[in-house]
Chain A
Amino acid sequence: MAEATGVGYFIYGVVPSDVEPTEDARGLGDPAAPVTVVTHGEVAALVSEIGLDRPLGRPDDLVAYKQLLDGTAVEAPVLPIRFGTVLESRDAVTELLSAAHDDYLAALNELDGRVEYVVRGRYVEQAVLTEVLAENPEAEELRQQLRGAPENSSMDLRMRLGELINEGVEARRAADTDRLVDALTAVSVASVLRPPTHEQDAAHAAFLVETERRAEFEEAVERLADDEWSGRVNVKMLGPLAPYDFAARPQPQG
């Protein structure tokens, strides 16, 4: 590893060599540094200079990284490089590109004309608790028992109730995750499950979508949210995004 002094090159992602950042494209730093390309063969890296005297990962850094990649993704295929990757010189960037040129090119071809969406469902608390209680007599009985009990008593019963509810929610999450993927399989190229970010998450997954079918995909998400999941799951859709979940090895759906 080189020593961290002076200036380095923060690398955002790899693109086809015919991609050129616009003049106003900016990356990390304060003031935000201009984004340039380092080209090798048919691929190029999006980079910007960065001072090595400060740690990376402040909110502005993360936002700038993501905005550059997401903005690029709607114009051209891009392989995101893990946040925080800094090389010591432009020559080192070239070396990196040459070492994996063919792999990058193949992955870029695979991602051409495709963007990512992330869809997350979050349960409406009252709705999911009501569902779980309705099918679990033990939980319902505990709930009745605990009503009106002093709040710091009967800790064992509270724990047991919480455990049963959690089991019920987890089972529902598994089913609703399947449902989400089923509903969107026809309008996407591939999907990757993401771990839940909250204990009341109903589903969380990333989808690779043909740019031409973006409207169709978004409509399918809306249909699920407005019909079947209306009143029980709130849906959030992020995208179009750079293919964060599909960069390593894009896998066609089986």
Chain B
Amino acid sequence: MTSAIQPSGGGGVSRGGGSSSDLAEVVGTILDKGIVIDAHVSVGIVGIKLLTIDARVVVASVDTYLRFAEATNRLDLTSSQGKGLPEIVQGPKGALMEKAGDVLGELVGGESRERAPRRRRREED
């Protein structure tokens, strides 16, 4: 039933589609889509239990800020002046950043970070 998509020569686009079975893509594509038939329209609707389906919703939060700050600290702008970024990032500093990541993970509650975006927003300084 599904049509095959031929990967093209162009390198910049990755593809998925009819045959994609990447679950995150599937959920993201169909969740909360399609026509809703409610019980007022049809008496024949069966109330069947739906398993909880998660989709990531992006709400800027403390966690987002900390992740961005961490990523920015990993960044080394010498790359904009020339070469040499990979060596620097992978140097002794790499180990430090990993450790920082662990600390941040503890602070913001580990793996639930992305699934449970919190709405706390930081007050302006």
Chain A residues with a Cβ under 8 A of chain B: 1-2, 4, 8, 11, 13-14, 22, 25, 52, 55-59, 62-63, 65-68, 70-72, 74, 79-89, 91-93, 95-96, 99-100, 118, 125-126, 129-130, 133, 139, 143, 146-147, 151-152, 156, 158-163, 165-166, 169-170, 195-199, 201, 218, 221-222, 225-226, 229-230, 234-241, 244-245, 247-248
Contact = CB atoms under 8 A, between A and B. Distances in A.
13 contacts: A57-B51, A62-B26, A66-B26, A79-B35, A96-B42, A162-B64, A166-B65, A195-B58, A198-B56, A222-B10, A236-B13, A238-B17, A244-B34
B1 A72 contact: yes
B55 interface: yes
A84 B50 CA distance: 7
Contacts of B83: none
A184 B15 CA distance: 17
A23 B93 CA distance: 60
A93 B44 contact: yes
Contacts of A247: 33-35
B3 A237 contact: no
B42 A87 contact: yes
A218 to B, nearest CB: 7
B116 interface: no
Contact of A57 (B53, B69, B75): B53
B112 interface: no
Given A62-B30, A197-B28, A236 B48 contact: no
Given A86-B45, A92-B43, A238-B17, A159 B62 contact: yes
A55 B45 contact: no
A102 to B, nearest CB: 14
B71 A82 contact: no
B48 A84 contact: yes
A244 B46 CA distance: 23
A99 B51 contact: no
Contacts of B13: 218, 221-222, 225-226, 235-237
A55 B51 contact: yes
B3 A240 contact: yes
B99 to A, nearest CB: 7
A91 B44 contact: yes
A125 B74 CA distance: 11
A153 to B, nearest CB: 11
B69 A197 contact: no
Interface in B37-67: 37, 39, 41-53, 55-58, 60, 62, 64-67
A55 B56 contact: no
A229 B10 CA distance: 13
A178 B52 CA distance: 33
**A-B residue pairs, 6 tightest by C-beta:** A92-B44, A71-B1, A162-B65, A225-B12, A57-B51, A151-B100
Nearest to B60: A166
Nearest to A73: B18
Contacts of B75: 126, 129-130, 133, 143
Contacts of B1: 22, 25, 67-68, 70-72
Nearest to A149: B73
Contacts of B16: 236-238
A84 B47 CA distance: 9
